């Protein structure tokens, strides 16, 4: 029985996580555990467990006696999260430049170039794969685990940076080209510029969401 409950909990967790990341639930939306439980024909307990796990990940907030809400991020919080992301990625790119998986980059590159008809999910998946190569190059399991803990916040923001696909592709191509050319300085500059532009676009969207909401 416990196994079944655990699997309900992790299935509901995955469903809710995806819906939040893909903005099917908008920031600030209330999530009603009872409704979700009824929708999936399960009890409320595993839904609450899944929501508490999402609270732990900073994707959901739990307001006592009011309920669960999709986490909203202020401009300062957005800035701080992007700063953390820059710290991880720029540090790994420069420190472990020689260990970045070139074969992985070569397999991502043509997919970026041919990125006409791909879904938002596939687009973000490629983005994650590219940025992951820098982190994985560290071969440091503590660093990789810490990065993975906050990675969903970066993915959430990727969905907010969705109006600049062509520019993003160009920025990604330049990063890959400079790494494959062995030009560490240029690769660092390109990644820094890319993350600054991502940040700018996310901040614009955070402001817009606030005005519309």
Residues that bind Ni ion (CB under 5 A): 127
Nearer to Ni ion, 50 or 82 (CB): 82
Supply the minimum distance, in Å, between the C-beta of residue 35 and Ni ion. Answer: 35
Q: Please say whether the beta carbons of 192 and 61 come within 8 A.
A: no
Residue facing Ni ion at closest CB distance: 127
Spatial CA neighbour of 201 closest among 74, 17, 78, 71: 78
Supply the minimum distance, in Å, between the C-beta of residue 144 and Ni ion. Answer: 18
Tell me how far apart the terminal alpha carbons of the chain are, to the nearest angstrom.
42
- Token pair listed for 105: 């980059």
**Pairwise CA distance, residues 111 & 132, whole Å:** 16
Nearer to Ni ion, 4 or 193 (CB): 193
Nearer to Ni ion, 49 or 127 (CB): 127
Supply the minimum distance, in Å, between the C-beta of residue 146 and Ni ion. Answer: 19
| Cα–Cα separations (whole angstroms), residue 30 to 36, 44, 164 | 12, 16, 29
Supply the minimum distance, in Å, between the C-beta of residue 207 and Ni ion. Answer: 21
């Amino acid at each position: 029985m416990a196994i079944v409950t655990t699997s309900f909990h992790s299935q509901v967790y995955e469903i809710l996580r995806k819906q939040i990341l893909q903005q099917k639930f908008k920031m600030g939306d209330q999530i009603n555990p009872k409704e979700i439980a009824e929708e999936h024909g399960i009890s409320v307990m595993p839904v609450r467990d899944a929501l508490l796990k999402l609270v732990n990940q900073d994707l959901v907030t739990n307001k006592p006696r009011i309920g669960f809400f999709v986490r909203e991020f202020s401009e300062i919080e957005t800035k701080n999260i992007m700063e953390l992301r820059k710290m991880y990625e720029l540090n790994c790119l420069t420190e472990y430049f020689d260990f970045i998986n070139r074969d992985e980059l070569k397999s991502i590159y043509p997919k970026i170039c041919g990125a006409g008809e791909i879904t938002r999910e596939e687009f973000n998946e490629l983005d994650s794969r590219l940025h992951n190569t820098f982190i994985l190059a560290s071969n440091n399991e503590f660093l990789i685990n810490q990065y993975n803990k906050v990675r969903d916040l970066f993915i959430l923001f990727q969905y907010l940076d969705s109006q600049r696909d062509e520019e993003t592709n160009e920025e990604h191509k330049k990063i890959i080209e400079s790494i494959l050319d062995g030009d560490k300085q240029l690769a660092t500059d390109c990644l820094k510029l890319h993350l600054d532009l991502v940040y700018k676009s996310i901040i614009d969207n955070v402001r817009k969401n606030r005005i519309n909401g």
